[in-house]
Amino acid sequence: MSDTEHRQRDRERDGGRHHGARIRAAMRAAGQGAVLSVLSLVVSLFLFIVAVVSIALATVGIGLYTTPWVLGLVRAHAAHRRRLARDWYGVAIRSGYPPEQPARAGLAGNPVRTLDLLRSPATWRDLEWLLLDATAGFCLAVLPLGLLADGLFGILLAVGLWEPISDATGSYWYAFVPVDSQATANLAALLGLLWIGLALRFGPTLVRTHFTTTRLLLGISVKQALTRRVEHLTETRHDALDTSAAELRRIERDLHDGAQARLVAMGMNLGTVEALIARDPEQARKLVAELRENSAETLNELRDLVRGIHPPVLAERGLGDAVRALALRLPMPVETEVSLPGRFAAPVESAAYFAAGEALTNAAKHSGAQRIWLEAGYRAGDRMLRITVTDDGRGGADPRGGTGLAGIERRLGAFDGILAVSSPAGGPTVVTMEIPCDPAG
């Protein structure tokens, strides 16, 4: 075989592969379009109607409790569409939702959270997307499958399907071709081949256009994302500074009222002992014994103060053993399940430790619980350290009620962490704390 024949056969092979890849891409686009058309026409339209009705009912009070649930479904639907855009065609759609106040994140039926959602531009952008997705989005999604199906139907007309249809209806129009004979059926087949050709050529492009349109409605620009990020970091920085200042004042107050006062008293007692040694040794020995007890109590106070700054067990053993030690100090049974890959950065471990301690203390003091469950784990997929404290108490915890949850929120906020609270009346109460981080190298 000559070189020319080899090159010709290679070109034919490459051409066959190219056509096969195009057919597979078109068939895949048709299937994807079918899925998207159902999501657009059924799910988006349904959620739009339900959301509008729920928001309208907010004027009479009912919607204040139902709207967060409905808008949560809307956001989940939008998040699913973002994942499909990324996984199928690599179209990245940034979420435009503002950082939610962590103390309200778990209160799905909270009227205050409803007002927060209604004030957010992202909510109304979602509703606009739902309406357009159910109309223009559906048309773009259904075209790849529609062109293929209609093209195949045109070919079937030419192979004989036109006759029973014509006998039943008298005349049949395929697009702009009146099919009433074999000749016109052949024209319909040619038009069907054109539809199939368009599907093979433009099917994936139509699906990509669907996702591009979704990005225009659901996504935000890089500038908007950076602006929102700077605003959030500024707010959490101020909270971190306020928390640090309050912690410094607490340490100063504890030193002044506790250890410092004891040390001053011990100094005065040492002067008295010095004066009594010569004339009343027995009384001097009693004062020395009291000074020994006071020195031990002062040492314990200083240890507690240091533990409040950075517990030794946390520095020496890590977060896992530190939260287990917290659980052992409570006066009720605490079941712990800790699965951590190792150590984290010291500031992250400290924030997680004190947040878990505050949540455990709240459960022990205010919930009336008989048992508490503590879970600590790390999800490598989304780089998230997660601690959950659950109790079987009376429930009804209010993050705005001064129960210490606001302090946890501020502490986690310095690390872009979130706090979610679920506490229906009658319990159980579930406090979830998450901090984005990486294990220490």
Contacts for 325 with CB less than 8 Å, ≥ 6 apart: 311, 313
pLDDT score, position 252: 61
In this prediction, residues 311-326 reach a mean pLDDT of 84
pLDDT score, position 21: 80
Decide which of 46 and 278 is more confident. Answer: 46
Closest CA to 417 of 326, 362, 356: 356
Percent of the chain at pLDDT > 70 equals 75
Question: What CATH code is carried by the domain that includes residue 427?
Answer: 3.30.565.10
- Which of 169, 200, 218 marks a domain boundary? 218
The reply to whether 183 falls in a domain is yes
The reply to whether 226 falls in a domain is no
Structural domain boundaries enclosing 49: 3-218
Percent of the chain at pLDDT > 90 equals 18
Overall domain count for the chain:
3
Contacts for 77 with CB less than 8 Å, ≥ 6 apart: 39, 43, 44, 47
**pLDDT 10s digits, 215-224:** 888 866 556 5
pLDDT score, position 40: 92
Q: CB 83: neighbour CB atoms within 10 A?
A: 11
The reply to whether 235 falls in a domain is no
Report strand pairing: 418-422 vs 429-436: antiparallel
Element (H, E) at 316: helix 312-317
The reply to whether 23 falls in a domain is yes
Same domain for 212 and 272, yes or no, is no
Same domain for 103 and 184, yes or no, is yes
The reply to whether 227 falls in a domain is no
Instruction: Choose from 42-46, 189-193, 259-263, 297-301 the range with maximum mean pLDDT.
Output: 42-46
The reply to whether 241 falls in a domain is no
Question: What CATH code is carried by the domain that includes residue 287?
Answer: 1.20.5
Distance CA 321, CA 314 (A): 7
Same domain for 427 and 404, yes or no, is yes
Same domain for 78 and 206, yes or no, is yes
**pLDDT 10s digits, 405-441:** 777 887 787 787 888 888 887 878 889 999 988 887 6
Same domain for 339 and 250, yes or no, is no
Q: Is the pLDDT of residue 81 over 70?
A: yes
What are the two backbone dihedrals, phi and then psi, of residue 275, each rounded to the nearest 5 degrees? -75, -30
Q: Is the pLDDT of residue 227 over 80?
A: no
Name the band, by pLDDT with cuts 50, 70 and 90, for residue 44. Answer: very high
Same domain for 394 and 284, yes or no, is no
Same domain for 100 and 146, yes or no, is yes
Same domain for 370 and 275, yes or no, is no
The reply to whether 229 falls in a domain is no
pLDDT score, position 254: 55
Q: Is the pLDDT of residue 45 over 80?
A: yes
Q: DSSP 3-state assignment of 373?
A: strand
Same domain for 192 and 101, yes or no, is yes
